[in-house]
Amino acid sequence: MTPQKQIITALLKKFPYAATMTLAKRAYKDAPEAFASLESARSQVRTLRGAAGEKRRKYSPPELQREPGKAGAGGFQRIPEGWVDLPDWKAECFCGARKTLVLSDIHFPYHHKGALVAALEYGRDRGADTILLNGDIADCYAISRWEKDPRKRHFADEVRLVNNFLKTLREEFPKAEIIFKLGNHDERFENYMMLKAPELLDVPQFSFQRIMGLEDQDIQLVRDMRPIRLGKLNVIHGHEFKVMSSDPVNPARGFFMRAKVHVLGGHYHRSSQHSETDLEGKVISTWSTGCLCELHPQYRPINSWNWGFAFVDTDSKGAFNVSNLKVIDGKVY
Ligand SMILES: [Fe+2]
């Protein structure tokens, strides 16, 4: 195929309903060296789309031809396809019978060791075969766009802590499926990269999963605010519903009001539960889990947070049972 044909064919495939002269001008502007003149580009467009007369139609591939008698038309089909940022966006399903330990809001390096260890020991004792790290595992304090104290820990220290934690997790749960869902704090990493180092965004060595050590420990990353499904239970971090109050009376009810399906989430650092029965008698339940970080951070020393996590049993049909647990004085309740 000649270069001229290649250029025009690509344009016809991309803009099948554009006017002939529009396409010729675009081709001539993009590659003036390929065409003797604008008229020559126009002639090439007419030939390839089968609009240069019956005799020359044999030079036009069928897929580029316009419907006879409808030259320049196309009706509403002239409207181009819209842009899609996340073409494969959907919930990530982890189906089948499983025992899932759900930990969120650890906020390394502001983790609370006692609460975290109590949650991990509980998960091991109950035979967890799936560990869901449900967001805000890394605080990403040093790369936050919010005001920060430069005397505080460096980002390298945070990364080291997360690396070591994931390594320990893998060693202690060698056969478990481990899932890492990004929370709003974890997302700070990519936001920082977009603002400060956009040239490195496509370099695998600078990806979140590489830097935090997910790849080394065979941990699956769930990003783009995708919900996770454990059977019929939806799991979110909690920041996906942007319009919720930052300090709701009952976070679980807030999840219910927006999702209207079974949901478990973190983000609000408080354990809560809500159930409602719909008009058809179906009971819908939602839960928010507590956090595993230190309870009096500098930015909000007074709060109503509590330490907690969840354990979810699911069977092969998708039925589930949620244990929404609290850690008080080192004990799990
Ligand atoms: Fe959090």
Distance (Å, whole) CA 213 – CA 229 = 24
| Alpha helical stretches, state H, the chain | 3-14, 20-30, 38-48, 113-125, 155-172, 187-196, 208-212, 251-259
CA–centroid distance, residue 220 to ligand 1 (Å): 20
Share of the chain above pLDDT 90, in %: 74
Q: Tell me, what's the pLDDT at 63? A: 84
The structure's pTM equals 0.79
- Residue 193 DSSP one-character state: H
Looking at residue 112, its pLDDT comes to: 97
Ligand 1 centroid vs 297 CA: distance in angstroms?
11
Q: Hey, where are the domains in the chain?
A: 3-78, 92-332
- Residue 71 confidence (pLDDT): 52
The model's pLDDT over 62-91, given as tens digits with 9 standing for 90+, comes to 888 876 555 555 677 778 889 999 989 999
pLDDT tens-digit readout, 194-223: 999 999 998 999 999 999 999 999 999 999
Distance in Å, CA 107 to ligand 1 centroid: 7
- Tell me what pLDDT residue 169 has: 98
- Residue 116: helix, strand or coil by DSSP? helix
204 CA distance to ligand 1 middle (Å): 27
Distance 269 CA to ligand 1 centre (A): 6
pLDDT tens figures, 242-281: 776 777 889 999 999 999 999 999 999 999 999 999 999 9
Half-sphere exposure of 286 (CA within 13 A, CB side): 22
Three-state DSSP at 328 gives strand
Report how far ligand 1's centroid is from the alpha carbon of 35 (Å): 59
Distance 139 CA to ligand 1 centre (A): 8
What pLDDT band is residue 150 in, cutting at 50, 70 and 90?
A: low
308 CA distance to ligand 1 centroid (A)? Answer: 12
Of 16-25, 26-35, 308-317, where does the model show the most confidence? 308-317
Closest CA to 158 of 208, 118, 97: 208
Could you tell me the two tokens for 232?
A: 């019929």
**Pairing verdict, β 272-277 and 283-288:** antiparallel
Residue 108 has φ and ψ, to the nearest 5°, of -50, 130
Measured in angstroms, how far is the CA atom of residue 268 from the centroid of ligand 1? 7
Q: How far is the CA of 290 from the centre of ligand 1 (A)?
A: 9
Fold of 92-332: Purple Acid Phosphatase; chain A, domain 2 (3.60.21)
Q: How far is the CA of 99 from the centre of ligand 1 (A)?
A: 23
Whether 300 shows a pLDDT value over 60: the answer reads: yes
Q: From the CA of 141, how far away is ligand 1's center (Å)?
A: 12
Distance 105 CA to ligand 1 centre (A): 4
Dist. CA 185 → ligand 1 center (Å)? 7
Q: How far is the CA of 88 from the centre of ligand 1 (A)?
A: 27
Residue 164 C-alpha to ligand 1 middle, in angstroms?
20
From ligand 1's centre to the CA of 136, what distance in Å?
5
Give distance in angstroms: CA of 328 to centre of ligand 1. 19
* Helix H or strand E encompassing 277: strand 272-277
